[in-house]
Structure 1
């Protein structure tokens, strides 16, 4: 959202949702660490005085949400080519229900609470930009609890959705064994991103019966209602289809995933 024109994005999102028949699930966030320094400046954006780039992203998000909510703010031309409806004008097209299908990618527990305050669904990936020394799945489960607690405090009427992302590989043939049979990332990793300590969640790669037992112990997966699978896109469409179908066939039924 540091790079986005929120008004233009509202037009695009409304149009895409209408074309998709109200099926758009829109994920937004501040954005990941950049390859360049302050890249958003090249797009004509910079934080206001005393603001960070994260503050700017949240400001853009606020404007975007108001626009898709139907806010009217623009003075109509008194001599238009075509007649205007009475009053101020807003962004078109509008797609009813889109607001409830916007997700915020939160990297900390505090940001998850902010997400609940905005009435957005929570999207949490395989990285948290903080570390308390506990395993990643426990820290992420706490993030989800804080989000849901804050949601109740805010008194939102609908039930929120929560997604977590995982790298999961069921080893069922020699290809899987060659790619993932000997991985060194089957445990959490801790590093530094943007000057802060961050915790990266482990990958899951094992034979299906062992994989099922490992995944049963993942507290964040149990706490979420949606699981997003990350796939190694550099290995091609055919292999990624195999990765997903292997999980659906050999792992999902035992865990009650559907």
Structure 2
């Protein structure tokens, strides 16, 4: 899977896609430690963004993560786009405890994840904070020392994965970009894309109120397959899909529908998706267990037969 992920990122770049982002899960036969993969892709590609969606900060040492992220970003030439979050349900009970982390009294694991995320984001500024040894092994620059390597500009390429409107506004105040996935807290009972579009608008309002100088980025994720042949129809042509309601981490959540249809119909359906229209970046989820060639076919079909009609780059 790791090697195929590298090959698929190379194929995505060759096809003209803008990026390759990866989900991160622990205690599962999936992608768990993202930075070796991101660095390898950075060494094999030249143009595409390389990112995550998302890293569970309950499991992370923010100081060590600074070194990993800085190295991967420099190897890629400054193309890293890191989605981080307080985390989602995992394979084991309180898995972060096995990594040596536990929230102190009065703090939840979600609070701990946000605290780790805030510290990581602050450390990315590259300010010195550590007192140098008076007899160091290597010569030091003057003043307090920072973690190395420092990746200039990476702080502007950090995204927070938010499930609720309130968390999206929190991320805006902190100065992080926004990732909104294929599920969110069901806060109004309205269709998924309507709630997600409102979340994005509230995020942008909070960003403006915070007075940040740069323009933020906002992504939404969608499962989209253009049915081009019999194989596509056999895998995905199973009729209408609709939003689903479920419980995740004791939260009532709305899960967005998947899109699978012939290109002309897809274009009409996607044009009506309010959140896609509100966002500036679309993360296309692909069934990577089906291999590099088939996933390259899925990506190519969207790029050639759907994206141009919708004005997507």
Q: Smaller-chain TM-score range?
A: over 0.9
Q: Which structure has the bigger radius of gyration?
A: 1
Return 5+ residue gaps in structure 1 as ranges: none
Contact 2:179–2:219 under 8 Å retained in 1: yes
1:46 to 102, 119, 127: 102
Q: Tell me the equivalent position of 1:252.
A: 307
Q: Cα distance, 1:183 vs. partner?
A: 4.2
Pairing of 1:139-178 with structure 2 (within 5 A): 139-178=195-234
- Structure 2 CA distance for aligned equivalents of residues 66 and 212 of structure 1: 41
RMSD: 1.1
TM-score (norm 2): 0.80
What are the residue-to-residue correspondences of 1:2-17 with 2, within 5 Å?
Answer: 2-17=58-73
Contact 2:88 2:249 in 1 (8 A): no
User: Residue deviations 1:81-124, cap 9 Å, x none?
Assistant: 22222221111111111110111111111110011011001011
1:21-45 Cα deviation digits (max 9, x unpaired)? 1111111111221121111011110
1:231 maps to 286
How many residues get paired? Answer: 257
Find the counterpart in structure 2 of residue 60 from structure 1. Answer: 116
Is residue 95 from structure 1 mapped to residue 139 from structure 2 by the alignment?
A: no
Shift of 1:20: 1.0
Q: In the alignment, does 2:134 pair up with 1:81?
A: no
Task: Render the CA deviation track for 1:32-69: whole Å, top value 9, x for unaligned.
Answer: 21121111011110112111111101111121112110
CA distance in 1, matches of 2:312, 2:102: 43
After superposition, give the CA deviation of every residue in 1:187-224 in whole Å (9 maximum; x if it has no partner).
00001111121100000111111111110100100011
Structure 2 residue runs of 5 or longer lacking an equivalent are: 1-56
> TM-score normalised to the size of structure 1?
0.97
Is the 1:170–1:246 contact (alpha carbons within 8 Å) kept by the matching residues of 2?
A: yes
